[in-house]
Every structure is written in C-alpha cells, then in structure tokens.
Amino acid sequence: MVLKNPELSINGKEFIWGSRTYVMGILNVTADSFSGDGLLSTDQLDDSFSKQKISDIVEETILKARKFLSSGADILDIGGESTRPGSRQIGVKEELRKVIPIIEAISAELDAVLSIDTYKAAVAEAALKAGAHVINDVWGLKADENMAGVAAKHNAPVILMHNRSSWAHAEIKSKLGGRYIGMEYNNLIQDIKTELSLSISTALEAGVPNRNIIIDPGIGFGKTVEQNFELVDRLDEFRSLGYPVLFGPSRKSFIGYTLDLPTDQRVEGTAAAISIGIDRGADIIRVHDVEYMVRVARIADAVVRKSLQ
C-alpha cells in the first residue's frame, strides 16, 4: 500500500517514510512510569512534584535529552501522566506543571523535534505553544473532543493510537507490573484497523491533513500477552490504511511476562520485538533505551530497507 504522503517536515527536519526507521525517545516526567524510568523521584508521589525544585528536574531532563539526541533519536516524546494499568489519572493543571517547563527548556537549548504525550486538548495546545511540534494521543482523539481541532489549528502532526485499556481487565504483579487479561476482539487486527479508521476520520473532518497523520496500533494498550504477539507479527497489515506506523513495544508487559523479567531487564526482548516490527514495516519506534535500539534499527534497516547509515 502506497502512503498517502511519503514524507513529512517537522521543525525543519525531513521524515521520508520508508527510507529508514525513525527513533522516538521517551522522556517520562512521572514518578510511576511502568518502565521505571520516570524523571521524578520514585519514592515520591506525583502530587509532590510542586515541592521539588523544578530546575533540578529540568536539568536532569535536558541531560537525558542530549544523550538521546547524540545516540540518534529523531523525536523526543515528553509525557507527564503514566498510562500503566492502575495508574492514577491527573488533572490538566498538574500535567501542565510537569511538562511545560521541560518543553520550554529543551526547545530553547536543543534543536529537536518534540512530541507531547497527552490525551488532553488543553495540555496539547499549551505544549505546542511552549515549543512542542507533535501530539501523541494515546486515545486517538477519543478522550477529548477538542483534540482534533487543536491539531488542525496548529498544523501539528498527530499520532493516533488504538486503545482499549480497561482497569477492570488489568492484572498487576509486583515483579512484572500490569497486563491485560480477558480482552475480547471479534477479529484483532480488523477491529483495531476499524477503530483507527474512526480516529483518522475524526482528524480529517477537523481539518488535519493526511500528511500530518501517523497511526499506532497501541501494543500493550488493552491487549493480552497473546494478542500483543499477534500484533507484532501482523504489524504490516496496518500499512493498508495508508499512513506511517509507529510501533512502541519498549519494555512492555508482554515481554516481561514471557521472559519472567522486570522492566529494567527487558532490553533484549525489546530488541527482538523491534527487529520484527521493522521487518513488518514500522516507520517509527518509540523506545526507552535509545542508544541500544538505534543500533538495532540500523542493523534491521540494513537488511529490510537496504539502508546503510
């Protein structure tokens, strides 16, 4: 399937889909990220953020952002609310208090493409004004009816992710974290494609151009371990929708539950999933371990895309 638009320019940087795999590095400004990489102190609750020195957090984040960029990251994804099973939802004010200083500081000091990981329109708009360039919406424009309008107004690329997360179907183990059980689909891939198509229609109707749409099948979000593996294997089927595909298996529970390993020991499992995802046509990989996964992507690209960079 030919993409509706083969390339996209973001903040002066060209993304030519199919030429190579692009890497998105994750910057979690949280204390309870499932992956354990949150930039707030892990022994503090999220609502203690205002009591910490914002300057210290900003400095730490910039250091991590610099490392990601020097390691080969193409996009930095900044998020202030954990989306792990059982995580606490936060309000707009708290989320803004976390992400806006980070975005302002990085955009002022580094030449980078920044995405805001949020499903709240008010947060997305403030982030774009602060220096972000891309909206990464884990609910595919379905959680906030104003999100599509914000993307259109600012001519911002938007990542539309499929999501059927439900706390009622979440199982949490201390070592392995959360996973979803008993998630029912009539036809896994077709159901996800249908629901993504609805998100795409919402974006287009609001005035978002085709070139600004990226899709994400949402591995780990409302899928069982077995369904996640099927999703990895059949990732290429989402190419038929005509949009670049983002793939985010990094440190996810389907890896942990298969290997019986906690989040900080899933780099090899992530690498395996990433390699298969690239073979199945992923255009962007969203990862925590940027340095390692850039290397994985380059080797996979050399085989799959005959790209030696």
| Token digits of residue 5 | 């638009």
- pLDDT given for residue 34 in this prediction: 42
The answer to whether the beta carbons of residues 195 and 139 sit under 8 Å apart is no
Give me the catalytic one of 64, 98, 142, 286.
Answer: 286
Predicted structure pTM score: 0.91
Going residue by residue through the chain (309 aa), what tens digit of pLDDT does each one get? 679 899 999 999 999 999 999 999 999 987 544 444 545 443 444 445 555 567 788 889 999 999 999 999 999 999 999 776 656 678 999 999 999 999 999 999 999 999 999 999 999 999 999 999 999 999 999 999 999 999 999 999 999 999 998 766 777 777 888 887 878 999 999 999 999 999 999 999 999 999 999 999 999 999 999 999 999 999 999 999 999 999 999 999 999 999 999 999 999 999 999 999 999 999 999 999 999 999 999 999 999 998 765
Decide if 193 is catalytic: no
Return the beta strands (E) in 158-251 as ranges.
158-161, 170-173, 177-180, 213-216, 246-247
Decide if 252 is catalytic: yes
The residues facing 9 across adjacent strands are: 14
The answer to whether the beta carbons of residues 87 and 107 sit under 8 Å apart is no
Instruction: Give the contacts of 61 (CB within 8 A, at least 6 positions apart).
Output: 27, 29, 39, 102, 105, 106
Q: Is 305 exposed, middle or buried (0-12, 13-18, 19+ CB in 10 A)?
A: middle
Look at phi and psi of residue 178 and say left if phi exceeds 0, alpha if psi is from -120 to 50, else beta. Answer: beta
The residues facing 179 across adjacent strands are: 171
User: How many C-alpha atoms does 32 have within 13 Å on its Cβ side?
Assistant: 18
Smallest CA-to-CA distance from 150 within 80, 216, 91, 92 is with 92
The residues facing 37 across adjacent strands are: none
Amino acid at 34: F
In sequence order, which ranges of the chain are alpha helices (DSSP H)?
A: 54-71, 92-109, 121-130, 147-153, 188-206, 225-233, 253-259, 267-279, 290-304
The CATH fold of domain 19-304: TIM Barrel (3.20.20)
Smallest CA-to-CA distance from 83 within 5, 139, 19 is with 139
Q: How many CB atoms lie within 10 A of CB 174?
A: 6
Give me the catalytic one of 64, 84, 142, 252.
Answer: 252
